[in-house]
Amino acid sequence: MREQVFMNRVLSSELSCKTQTAKREQVFVNRVLSSELSCKTETAMREQVFVNRVLSHELSCKTQTAMREQVFVNRMLSNELSCKTQTAMREKVFVNSVKQ
């Protein structure tokens, strides 16, 4: 009976030590995994910021190009309208002079 009590205490003590060791190992593993996740998250965030900057720059360049093209088209159309207006005015002057 005493041997059984002694053996139970030894086994209980051994189980307690193994449980504490397992808990410490789990805490360590959790810290390592948390640190790794944190690093990967920070890296992903930096990569996203870089991609956003590249895309923003690309959009800005395309917007500026489109605006320049629009200005060019507007000038051409304005010039064409001016020429047609001048031609129409000359024709009107000619028609009026022929009528007189």
Full-prediction pTM beyond 0.75? no
- ∠ at Cα 28 (22, 33), nearest 5°? 120
CA distance 20 to 50: 45
CA distance 50 to 44: 10
Confidence at residue 85, expressed as pLDDT on a 0 to 100 scale:
95
- ∠ at Cα 89 (84, 91), nearest 5°? 95
Digit-by-digit pLDDT tens for the chain (100 residues) are: 888 988 999 999 999 999 999 999 999 999 999 999 999 999 999 999 999 999 999 999 999 999 999 999 999 999 999 999 999 999 999 999 988 7
Confidence at residue 90, expressed as pLDDT on a 0 to 100 scale:
94
